[in-house]
Amino acid sequence: MENATLGVFERLRNGETIQPNDPEAYKMREASYATKELLIRMNNTSDPAEIRDLLGRITESEIDERTTVFTPLYINYGKNTRIGRNVFINFDCTFLDLGGITIEDNVLIAPKVSLLSEGHPVSPENRQSLVPGPIYIKRNAWIGAHATILPGVTVGENAVVAAGAVVSRDVPDNTVVGGIPAKIIKTI
Residues involved in catalysis:
120
What lies within 8 Å, CB to CB, of 37 at 6+ separation is none
CA distance 1 to 137: 28
Residue 9: closest CA among 22, 23, 32, 27: 27
The answer to whether 162 touches 177, Cβ cutoff 8 Å, is yes
**Could you tell me whether strands 154-155 and 135-137 are parallel, antiparallel, or unpaired per DSSP bridges?**
parallel
CA distance 86 to 108: 9
